Structure 1
Amino acid sequence: MVDRSDDASCLLGLAGLAVERVVLTVLGMKIVQVVTDDPDAARCPSCQVCSTSGKDWVLTRPRDLPCGGEFLVVQWRKRRWRCRTEDCPRGSFTEQVAQVPAGMRTTTRLRAALAVAVEDGRDQSEVAAAHRVSWPTVQRAVVARGAAELVEPEPVRVLGMDETRFGRPRWLPDGVHADGRIRWVRTDPWETGFVDITGEQSLLGQVDGRTSAAVQAWLAARSPEFRAGIEVVVIDPHAGYAAAVRAALPDAAIAVDHFHLIMLANKAVTAVRQRVTRDLLGRRGRKIDPAWANRRLLLRGRERLSQAALARMWNGCVDHDPSGQILSAWIAKEELRALCATAARGGHPGEIRDRLYAFYQWSADAQIPELTTLAETIETWWPAIEVFLATGLTNARTEGTNRLIKQVKRAACGFRNRENYRRRVRLHCTRRIRRLSARNPTVPA
């Protein structure tokens, strides 16, 4: 065996280190003995002067990535040097290279691989076991990558907001009753996420809670340029979010996501069906009841129903509900869907006006309490709905980000530390654009 193999050094790929020999133990483990092959390794970290005064030798075993599918034991016999510069505060130092800095027991590329595996959605314990390192080692790699990669968000034109659960609801003590019993209150641990709707930044950040004060605090922490650049904020029909936007971003328009409007209409149809069934039969619906059997068809769009399915649903409701309230609620839902569909055709004001009048007229003539409530909700949120119809902006990207957030939480089996949670979530949600920017510097991160 030769003393030093350039081919082996190239295969190992640790810049600044050269393979001296490879030893195969009786247990089948490969020990790769390396030596320093970088003249700058003898340079003092403080004064940057190369030392020529050796002090002693140190044997270190930095953990590295597998090579050829096998884990190797890397042994680096490095020199400790004396610094002879008079005004240098450092008396001695050990050799270091870019892949193995001083004091590190893992290589730089191993720590990068650990962080990449975690930000791809894998559990940290699983990553630690796969790479034969400890959980704290993986955690430090993730923290370092988050500090280097997760920067303050750039200004956005359209901001999306939505909430996700951080954990399960809990009951906490809140004082005592007059008779001495403990008063319990339910707390829901929510997290509000902020997403770049039209840009490529994905998740911009998260804040604890879904109150107006929490949203205002997050917006206040951003730069004036960030707040001034927001033209439209897309939200669910949530009064707290709307109040926060009006207070913190007075010049921004509010758009309501149409998915939640259709969801409110579907809830109204379900409420009417359940009430009519109870009034007629004095019980809940059963599968022998036509209205209950067609409950899924009532929530499906008209264009998605075949002629046979439409006839079955229509005739079943006519036979089951002599008052016609269920079909009236279904028609009102379809009128609202037709109103929302005008956004896909450019949101012409005349068409919007006609569809809105048709929805209001039908809801008023039906004289059904659930439809009256639905129409009042549409009237309350109409300025924000009109912005959606004119711009076509939705919270679809925010909902997609929520799916990624839930994916990270499932992989980790939940979180207890919110700081670690937000770091992991944002690393996962922004990984695609960050890697694309690293490969192509012309793409903004």
Structure 2
Amino acid sequence: MLAWLATTPKPWREQIAYVAIDMSPGYRAAVRTGLPHATVVVDHFYVVQLANKMLNLVRRHTTATLRGRRGRAGDPEWRARRRLLRNREDLTDTQFSTMWNQLIGTGDIGMTLLTAWIAKEKLRDLLARARTTDRHRTGHLRWKFLTWCADCDIPEVRTRARTIDRWWPEIQAFIATGHSNAKSEGINRMIKLAARAAHGFRNPTNQRIRTRCVTTRRARGHLHPA
């Protein structure tokens, strides 16, 4: 990345005010070195993805510890695994009640999972403050999230809370600006799908033309593939 930035014109680099990245320390260090004037923003998708990975780790670790084996299809926590990863507003009242009551009925396993799930939802409440200017409300939601994680006795939740705290300046930049790299990630996905559908490209020129065709409609009338 630094080598590529070194080849770009300095006036172009100076126009870059924000850089949206995933939670990679290497990318953050590269941006700070190559674009010291730019503000680093963490895309909220990766923050929620981190929370969902934490939930999966808690489920597997708790099941292995309390049941002495891996999860099975008949276990309540296994049946609820997909609903745990969904947003609360995407669950109907019936789906939420079923998940909640089934996990409560499992005892310690369910209580641990629900504690981790609440931590994820508190983090989502914090991220939902994107493009708002009420710093007091944002600070209060951050305090609620960190306090909940600190009070629970779940190592995975506490570890993720420390990670969120270390990345707070970049997450706060997202809340303030709402900037995301969703468009570039979508374009990258279309490029990969085009290459997969073609079972790979042997001609780089044809690959570039095909990439432009699938990623923009305006360019289709200006392309003349041989």
TM-score, normalised to structure 1, is 0.47
Query: In structure 1, what is the Cα distance between the partners aligned to 2:133 and 2:48?
Result: 17
Structure 2 counterpart of 1:334, which letter?
E
Change (3 A) 1:352 1:225: same
Q: Distance in 2 between matches of 1:388 and 1:428?
A: 31
Superimposed CA distance per residue, residues 231-267 of structure 1 (whole angstroms, 9 cap, x where no aligned partner): 0000111112111111110000000010111011011
**Among residues 98, 116, 119, which one is paired with 1:332 in the alignment?**
119
Mapped pair 1:266 → 2:48: no
Given that 1:265 and 1:333 are in contact with CA atoms closer than 8 Å, whether structure 2 keeps it comes out as: yes
What is the alpha-carbon distance in structure 2 between the residues aligned to residue 351 and residue 400 of structure 1? 32
TM-fit CA distance, 1:367: 2.3
* Deviation digits for residues 158-214 of structure 1 (CA, Å, limit 9, x no counterpart): xxxxxxxxxxxxxxxxxxxxxxxxxxxxxxxxxxxxxxxxxxxxxxxxxxxxxxxxx
* Counterpart-to-counterpart distance in 2, 1:296 and 1:270: 10
2:185 aligns with one of 399, 409, 421: 399
Structure-to-structure mapping, 1:34-113, within 5 angstroms: none
Equivalent in 236, 239, 244 of residue 22 of structure 2: 236
Write the deviation string for residues 117-161 of structure 1: whole angstroms up to 9, x where unpaired.
xxxxxxxxxxxxxxxxxxxxxxxxxxxxxxxxxxxxxxxxxxxxx
User: Which residue of structure 2 aligns with residue 7 of structure 1?
Assistant: none
Distance in 2, Cα, partners of 1:299 & 1:408: 29
Cross-structure match for 1:377: 163
Distance of aligned partners of 1:412 and 1:251 in 2 relative to their CA distance in 1, 3 Å threshold: same
Unaligned runs of at least 5 residues, structure 2: none
Confirm or deny: 8 A CA contact 2:213 2:220 kept in the other structure: no
Q: Give the greater-gyration-radius structure (CA).
A: 1
Q: How does 1:114-193 map to 2 (within 5 A)?
A: none
Question: Which residue number corresponds to residue 217 of structure 2?
Answer: 432
Q: 1:250 to 1:426 in 2, by over 3 A?
A: farther
Cα deviation for residue 315 of structure 1 reads 1.4
1:309 to 2:95 alignment? yes
Contact 1:258 / 1:340 at 8 angstroms: preserved in 2?
yes
The CA deviation string for residues 99-123 of structure 1, in whole angstroms up to 9 with x for no partner, is: xxxxxxxxxxxxxxxxxxxxxxxxx
Shift in alpha-carbon separation, 1:266–1:400, aligned structure 2, 3 A: same
Q: 2:11 corresponds to which residue?
A: 225
**Structure 1: tracts of 5 or more residues without a match:** 1-214, 439-445
Three-state SS of the structure 2 residue aligned to 1:234 is strand
User: Taking structure 2 as the reference length, what is the TM-score of the superposition?
Assistant: 0.90
TM-aligned CA deviation for residue 220 of structure 1: 1.2
Q: Across the two proteins, how many residue pairs are aligned to each other?
A: 221
Partner Cα separation in structure 1 for residue 36 and residue 29 of structure 2: 10
CA distance in 2, matches of 1:274, 1:336: 21
Deviation readout 1:358-416 (Å, 9 max, x if unpaired): 00000000021101111111011111101100001111101211122112212321246
Q: 2:65 aligns to what?
A: 279
Report SS of the residue matched to 1:237. coil
Amino acid at match of 1:328: T
Name the CA distance, whole Å, in 1 between partners of 2:63 and 2:177: 40
- Give me the whole-angstrom Cα distance separating, in 2, the residues matched to 1:369 and 1:420: 51
Deviations 1:61-93 (A, max 9, x none): xxxxxxxxxxxxxxxxxxxxxxxxxxxxxxxxx
What's the offset of the Cα at 1:217?
Answer: 1.2
Conservation of the 8 A alpha-carbon contact between 2:213 and 2:219 = no
Match of 2:80 in 1: 294
Measured at CA, do residues 272 and 304 of structure 1 come closer, stay the same or move farther in structure 2, by a change above 3 Å? same
- Asked whether the equivalents of residues 190 and 215 of structure 2 are also in contact (C-alpha less than 8 Å), the reply is no
Structure with a larger share of its residues in strand: 1
Partner SS state of residue 413, structure 1: coil
Q: CA deviation at 1:425?
A: 6.0
Percent same amino acid among aligned pairs? 45
In proportion to residue count, which structure has more helix? 2
User: Which one of 413, 420, 423 corresponds to residue 208 of structure 2?
Assistant: 423
Preserved contact between residue 254 and residue 384 of structure 1 (Cα < 8 Å): yes
Specify the code of the residue in structure 2 equivalent to 1:272: V
Kindly report which structure 2 residues correspond to 1:354-373, keeping only aligned pairs within 5 A, or say none: 354-373=140-159
Q: Which amino acid in the other structure matches residue 213 of structure 2?
A: H
Provide the residue aligned with 1:26 in structure 2: none
The 1:217/1:266 distance shift into structure 2, 3 A limit, reads same
How far the C-alpha of 1:276 sits from its partner, in A, is: 1.1
Provide the residue aligned with 2:135 in structure 1: 349
The CA distance in 2 between the partners of 1:435 and 1:413, in whole Å, is: 22
Letter in 2 for 1:350: H
Counterpart contact for 1:262–1:333, Cα < 8 Å = yes
Structure 1 residue 229: Cα displacement: 0.4
Which residue identity is paired with 2:32? R
Instruction: Look up the equivalent residue of 1:329 and give its one-letter code.
Output: A
> In the alignment, residue 149 of structure 2 is paired with which amino acid?
S
Higher relative contact order (CA 8 A, sep 6+): 2
